Amino acid sequence: MGRRLSLPVSWLALPLLVGCAAPDDTSSDAAPNAAESGAVDATAGPATSDPYAHGFTDADYPRVIEVAEDVYAYEQIHPTGGEIITTVSLIVITPEGVLVADGQENPEETQRLVDTIADMTEQPITHVVVASDHGDHTGGNSAFPGGARFFAHPTSAAILEASAVNPNRPEDAPPVVVPTEIVGDDTVLELGGREIRLLHLGRAHTGGDLVVYLPEGKVLFMSETYLKHIFPAMRSAYPSEWVAMLDRAIEMDVDVYVPGHGVMESPAILEAELVSFRDAVRAVVEEATRLHGEGLSAEEAAEAVSFGAVEEWSLRDSQKLRAIRRVYLELNGQLSGFLVP
């Protein structure tokens, strides 16, 4: 795909829950929010992260959706696990520079992100937040401008540093950018008069997950802690802690939840699907715990259990057994940062 600018999409072009208010509807008779109702209407897209199933084509990507004033979700196609999903980055434009949370999987795709931002604003990229340390979000970080400051949780920074000096790293692999700005559980940045909070709500998809909260606009970029319509991917996760982390996110004062993977839809649908994803993670933990107690191996458990509609989500074939293995490690007291094959 050649370089192209995908003009920001209005929320009005995205499907809404029937009976739910549009984002700017403040009338007193608006329907309950999606987290309260717990249901997604048929006007939502199909229960998959495959953009083609949602009616999109290669020509539609990258998609840039304005989720609040000067705040954008950047969504790009991402092949993985024998399937096609999408990866989402966050862009925050201010008069003093641009903050990006999560790059894309390789320098070419991250350069496309950088070029898109250059078409949107003359402001330079000054801040890059490593919300997930996985390669599909960091593999292209060398394409960001040299003067940008990279922020990460200590755990993620350590993982990237170890990767950078790994003697077995392929010679043709792109350089690993090691973050130098280490953040705690709640770090407040002030950029161009805008408050941007970098939060660690607990271990979840990885040991160093960050989310980015914008109080003005009430946007929460959740990176890989929220995998919309994707079977819970747990190869480096902390399963039971992930459920608790998602509970904390759902309790926050948020108007727009932005996932790290998955097709962007309306705020109401994104919120409802976050609740569904939390429930899916919890179901994996509970069912794996039950089958572990019955003495089944992880392989036997994966064959025996069905998670209902979640079985239709993207990456089920590549992630179901991994997730159950990870829960078993947690139950056996063997959980660590290593990856489950």
Identify the CATH number of the domain in which residue 244 sits: 3.60.15.10
75 located within any domain = yes
- Confidence band of 44 (pLDDT split at 50, 70, 90): low
- CB 309, CB 47: distance < 8 Å: yes
Average pLDDT (210-219) is 98
Residue with tokens 């984002």: 23
Structure tokens at 56: 């999109």
Q: Please state the pTM of the whole predicted model.
A: 0.88
Show the tokens assigned to 12.
């009005």
Residue 116 domain flag:
yes
Q: Which pLDDT does position 259 carry in this prediction?
A: 99
Number of domains in the chain: 1
Q: Are the CB atoms for 1 and 57 separated by under 8 Å?
A: no
Q: How confident is the model at residue 325 (pLDDT cuts 50, 70, 90)?
A: very high
pLDDT in tens, 82-137: 999 999 999 999 999 999 999 999 999 999 999 999 999 999 999 999 999 999 99
Is residue 14 domain-resident?
Answer: no
Closest CA relative to residue 40, chosen from 59, 23, 16: 16
Of 19-28, 148-157, 288-297, the one with minimum mean pLDDT is: 19-28
* pLDDT, mean of residues 308-330: 97
- Whether the pLDDT of residue 24 is over 60: the answer is no
| Domain membership of residue 323 as a residue range | 33-331
Q: What is the DSSP string of 239-262?
A: HHHHHHHHHHHHHS--SEEE-SBS
Please indicate, yes or no, if residue 16 is contained in any of the structural domains. no
Region 160-179: mean pLDDT is 94
Q: pLDDT band at residue 262, thresholds of 50, 70 and 90?
A: very high
Triad 307, 313, 318: Cα angle to 5°: 85
**Residue 24 belongs to some domain of the structure:** no
The reported pLDDT for the residue numbered 85 is 97
Q: What is the dihedral of CA 163, 169, 175, 179, to 10 degrees?
A: 0
